[in-house]
Structure 1
Amino acid sequence: MKKAIILLLGCIFVFSACSKSEETAEPDDTSHVEESEAEEKAKTEWWQTEMESYSLDGLPRDLDELEQELIVEAGLYSGDKYDLASAKDMLDQLPENLSEEELEAAILRLIREDYHAEVETFVTFDPTVEVNVDKPDEELEEPSEEMATSTSHFAILLDASGSMNNQSDGTSRMELAKEAIGNFIDILPANSTVSLRVYGHEGTGSDDDKKLSCSATESLYNGEMNEKEFMSALKGVEPAGWTPIANALEAAEKDIPDHASTAIVYVVSDGIETCDGDPIKVAEQLNQKDVQPIINIIGFQVDDEAQELLEQVAEAGKGEFTYAGNKQDLEDYWEEEYNRLQEAWETWQQEGMKRADELSQQLMEQADETGYAIMEKSELEFDRAEDLINYLTTERQMENANNLWSIFYERSTTIWSYGYDNQTENWGAAYENGNAAWRYFYETGTEKWTEYYNKVN
């Protein structure tokens, strides 16, 4: 009885083990078959795989149908990877009954060229020629109508102390100074602003009037240049009291408009500070303001002590000191200023024209290179397509391949035309914009140069 039970259990165990073994083997065999089928499918149906496209972000517009086609990823044997023998091996895997569309797609999966970088260049191409060059005493932002608007301010501070009444060759220092200032403002840019401030013009040179005279500084003119009104204001200035140079410099800050990008302060004086001020300190402080005006000092018939002080004031204001011993010296000074501006405008003109040429040339070269790259790739792609089409029609004798030559010829022509048309359009736009910028600098520079030339000669 015991033996029977043991035998029965043994059979149950064997039967159970056999069943488990069979259950384990069955899925293994099925998995092997499925894996082989997947490998075979991947191997034989490569021509049906969906082609991805390159991702182009931040484009200024949507791509048209042709451009969407041109950003599809390159084929297996595109560019330098072309291998005719390997491509033919791939074509040998194609079934005999593939349609014309399927054959076209298969060839493109092998030899399609990579156009996405060129498409991105043309879609984002900006033919604008923007040239930034600092104008003499004003900021140039771009070659447009706004650039003609000057933001420069010329502040003239005139010493009206009693000593300006002293004579030189029968003419007072004040009269000579007025004449020279009149000549100077006559050649300032028509769209600049100018101010006239006098100091020491009240009271007398006596000790009793010192407080009154030292606090006397007044703006007689400030605004856009109107020569008639300016000269009328200047004409009424008469020599009177003391010399508060520091006070006048400090007050000059209020004369400079908020919108001014640059300012030049001209101090016309025949003596030193006589009102206990510190013009050197004030000049340093004024030059540290947002506009940072340049302070030029014209010392009119000054002695050595006054010249030394005025030189220090000019240095503190990042400007220059000029000694004017007589009328001719003063006129020579202003003539040098005219020549400086004349030369500065010529330099600005030449630099602007040069940069306009360079930038325009860069853009034209970019348009050329991009267009030629597309055209060359379209021709290369067509030549390789011809190789594969000939193989399909002659070696494989696939009837559905007979019309592929026309299809790929039309494709090549369309892509070639896209490259040529965009090249021509963008090259022309860059050329015209470069010419416009060049003409702006040429015409504006010539106009300004001529203006100063006529004033000097």
Structure 2
Amino acid sequence: MKKFGLFLLITMLFISGCSEDEEASAEDEEEISPVEESVEDDTNTEESTEDEQKAWWEEEVEAYQLEDLPRELEELEQDLVLKEGMFSGDDYDFEEIKLLLDELPMDSSEEVLESAILQLIREDYHEEVEVFVKFDPTVDVQVESRDEDVDGPEQKISSSHFAILLDASGSMNADNGGKTRMDAAKEAITDFVDTLPEDSTISLRVYGHEGSGTEQDKKMSCEATEVIYNDKVNHEDFTKSLESVTPAGWTPIGFALEEAEKDIPEVASGAIVYVVSDGIETCDGDPVAAAKALTEKGIEPIINIIGFQVDDEARELLEEVAEAGNGTFTYAGNQQDLEQYWHDEYTRIQEAWEEWQQEGMKNAEEISNELMDLAEENGFSIMDKSELEFERAEE
């Protein structure tokens, strides 16, 4: 009975104490403000975050972001653009690294150990990777032309455009040793076109080919200029277009030069405009101003004038047109002179092209060697860094 009474007393005291604690707890809860609850929650969150914070060897390694790449990075390249470790390069400190590695659990796997070591000593390869990914082995040769008809990098003579402006005024009907001036001009032009590469482009514009030489038809004739062929060289089609030209009216050289800009393809690397005329401007135009304006547009074409049996006055004026067009004036007294001019022109073009090509090959070789040096330098840089990284990893 005494034992039971003692047990009962202890039990009652315990229950009484618990009741008092509960009451006090309830009172405390009533006294705690929402702000205090928030502070406690924040404290608990911070403690929880600190508990969940990863160890240094478990943190994800950031990578360098390379811009304007021509393709996606391969898996190996992605590994090589990871940011360097804190002990890479000249910052290598063996003793400090040992202390950090001692923080790893003793039962860490080989993979974890390997990753941790790399995280500390990884070298920086991102610049070398960027060079290789963007590496372009194409040799882009920038060669200044030796002559007006060979016009720039990676272009062949065939990429130049040849624009022929042919005088179809009535005076081209004049006799020239058993044939007309127009017939002689047609034959000489045809021979020149026959020598051009198949993939070069050529245009044929005629002017003064409508109306007549009368005052009544002057307005019509002076407004007459038309491109009757503009394409890659096709000897048969070009000849047919040329044969259809018949001399008729006045001589609007200035207007023809103004319109010639439309004949030059946008993709042409350069252009030479050949004006074949047997006289001066007769339509109140200003061919000198027109020639100057044309050379200041686009690819700055060269304007060469061939004066066919012109008098001294016409020759003087046509020389001014050629000078304004940064070209040359050539006098042709007969068909043989015309043919010789076109032959010499083709020879000059070929020689200029060969000279340009040789210089281009020389420059291409220099650029190729520079690219090779860049590739080797980049490769050796990666090898040197990787060897250093391997030696330190072994240590």
Give TM class, smaller chain: 0.5 to 0.7
1:231 partnered with 2:233: no
Once the two structures are aligned, what percentage of the paired residues are identical? 54
In the aligned structure 2, how far is the partner of 1:210 from the partner of 1:96? Answer: 103
- The residue aligned with 2:340 is 332
Structure 1 residues 318, 87: CA separation in 2 closer, same or farther (over 3 Å shift)?
Answer: same
Question: For residues 115-264 of structure 1, what are the structure 2 equivalents within 5 Å?
Answer: 115-122=125-132, 124-129=133-138, 131=140, 150=159, 152-162=161-171, 165-167=174-176, 172-201=180-209, 214=222, 216-235=224-243, 237=245, 239=247, 241-253=249-261, 255-256=263-264, 262-264=270-272
- Give 3-state SS (helix, strand or coil) of 1:264's partner: strand
Gaps of 5+ in 1: 1-45, 389-457
Structure 1 residues 372, 163: CA separation in 2 closer, same or farther (over 3 Å shift)?
Answer: closer
Q: Match of 2:167, as an amino acid?
A: L
In the aligned structure 1, how far is the partner of 2:291 from the partner of 2:141? Answer: 31
In the aligned structure 2, how far is the partner of 1:253 from the partner of 1:92? Answer: 75
In the aligned structure 2, how far is the partner of 1:224 from the partner of 1:208? Answer: 38
1:80 partnered with 2:90: yes
Deviation at 1:74, TM superposition (A): 3.6
Could you report, residue by residue, the CA deviation over 1:412-447 in whole angstroms, capped at 9, with x for unpaired residues? xxxxxxxxxxxxxxxxxxxxxxxxxxxxxxxxxxxx
- The residue aligned with 1:307 is 315
Q: Match of 2:337, as an amino acid?
A: D
Structure 1 residues 321, 87: CA separation in 2 closer, same or farther (over 3 Å shift)?
Answer: same
Deviation at 1:56, TM superposition (A): 2.4
Deviation at 1:351, TM superposition (A): 4.4
Question: For residues 333-412 of structure 1, what are the structure 2 equivalents within 5 Å?
Answer: 333-386=341-394, 388=395
Question: Which range moved further: 307-316 or 170-179?
Answer: 170-179
Would the aligned equivalents of 1:194 and 1:225 in 2 still touch at CA under 8 Å?
yes
Structure 1 residues 110, 178: CA separation in 2 closer, same or farther (over 3 Å shift)?
Answer: closer
Structure 1 residues 236, 335: CA separation in 2 closer, same or farther (over 3 Å shift)?
Answer: same
1:317 partnered with 2:325: yes
Q: Please, what TM-score do these two structures have when normalized by structure 1? A: 0.59
Structure 1 residues 260, 99: CA separation in 2 closer, same or farther (over 3 Å shift)?
Answer: closer
Deviation at 1:293, TM superposition (A): 4.0
Match of 1:61 among 69, 72, 77: 72
* Residue correspondences, number: 336
Deviation at 1:96, TM superposition (A): 10
Gaps of 5+ in 2: 1-54
Cα RMSD (Å)? 4.2
In the aligned structure 1, how far is the partner of 2:194 from the partner of 2:101? Answer: 88
Would the aligned equivalents of 1:296 and 1:314 in 2 still touch at CA under 8 Å?
yes
In the aligned structure 1, how far is the partner of 2:312 from the partner of 2:228? Answer: 31
Question: Which range moved further: 237-246 or 202-211?
Answer: 202-211
In the aligned structure 1, how far is the partner of 2:265 from the partner of 2:104? Answer: 83
- Give 3-state SS (helix, strand or coil) of 1:265's partner: strand
- The residue aligned with 1:22 is none
Q: Please, what TM-score do these two structures have when normalized by structure 2? A: 0.66
1:284 partnered with 2:292: yes
